[in-house]
Each structure stands twice: as C-alpha cells, then as structure tokens.
Structure 1
Amino acid sequence: MKQRQLTPLGKKIVKRLVDLNQTQVWLCEKVGVSKVYLNFILHGERSGKKYMDKIIEVLGLDEEEQQSA
C-alpha cells in the first residue's frame, strides 16, 4: 500500500501548527472542517479552496505561504 505524502502546503500547515503548539483538531474547529477533510487537504486529495483563506487567517501565514496555497 502506497504511503500518502503531505503536499508542500500541507507541510507548511503542519509546521505552523507545531510552532503554535496547536493540533489539527484545533484547526478543524476554528475553520469548520472535519479532521478527515483537513487530512485530504494536507495530502492534496482535496483542494480545500473553500477553506484556504480561513486556514491561512487562523494560522497567521504570511503572503509567501498564501501564494503557494
């Protein structure tokens, strides 16, 4: 079975969560998505376009990260 890989944006999101000492569950609650759907976004299986602005806002990502979203 092929192991799923985080996208470059997924890696940035996970790193930012670690920097903030927060969990994916916390991010899900703030953004209003399920943990499963967030995982799909992090692994590139869903674009998450509808939620990307909110994810960027909640995590306080800068312009550089925003453009790679």
Structure 2
Amino acid sequence: MRAGRKGSDYGKLVKKRLIDLGMTQAELAEMIGVGRPYICRILTGDRSGEKYKADIDRILKISE
C-alpha cells in the first residue's frame, strides 16, 4: 500500500481474509477472472470491487 492511502473498509476486510485464508491476491484475481492489479486497487480503495463483490465474498467467506 502506498504511503498516505488508507484503503476502504471493504478493502481492509478483503486483505484480512486473504491473510486469514493464506491466499494471495493473484489467486483471488484468477478465481474471479481479473488481474492482480485490480485486486490491489480494491485493497487500496481505488476501486470499489462492486462488480465482483458477490464472488469475492463467496470465495473469501465474507458475510455481511
């Protein structure tokens, strides 16, 4: 994460779940059909990830 960026709450949650599950950003990206840079943008809050949120939530077992 670049200096000065906070990241979104959702991005922080995704990052935590990746760590908890021992999964890489690249693995998640491949599972949902996007590039790793897109996952990175979700983690930093540059992208909402809304289009893939249901898939990310299912894969990472995130429930609201």
Q: Same fold (TM over 0.5)?
A: yes
TM-score, normalisation: structure 2: 0.82
The alpha-carbon deviation at position 14 of structure 1 amounts to: 0.8
The alpha-carbon deviation at position 6 of structure 1 amounts to: 2.0
Q: What amino acid is the match of 1:13? A: V
Number of aligned residue pairs: 63
Q: Which of these two proteins has the greater Rg computed from alpha carbons?
A: 1
**Matched residues, percent identical?**
41
Q: Mark the runs of 5 or more structure 2 residues left unpaired by the alignment.
A: none
TM-score, normalisation: structure 1: 0.77
Describe the superposition over 1:25-61 as per-residue Cα deviations: whole angstroms up to 9, x where unpaired.
1111111111111111111212221111110011011
The alpha-carbon deviation at position 4 of structure 1 amounts to: 2.5
* Aligned counterparts of 1:23 and 1:45: Cα–Cα separation in 2: 19
Q: What amino acid is the match of 2:60? A: L
- Distance of aligned partners of 1:46 and 1:21 in 2 relative to their CA distance in 1, 3 Å threshold: same
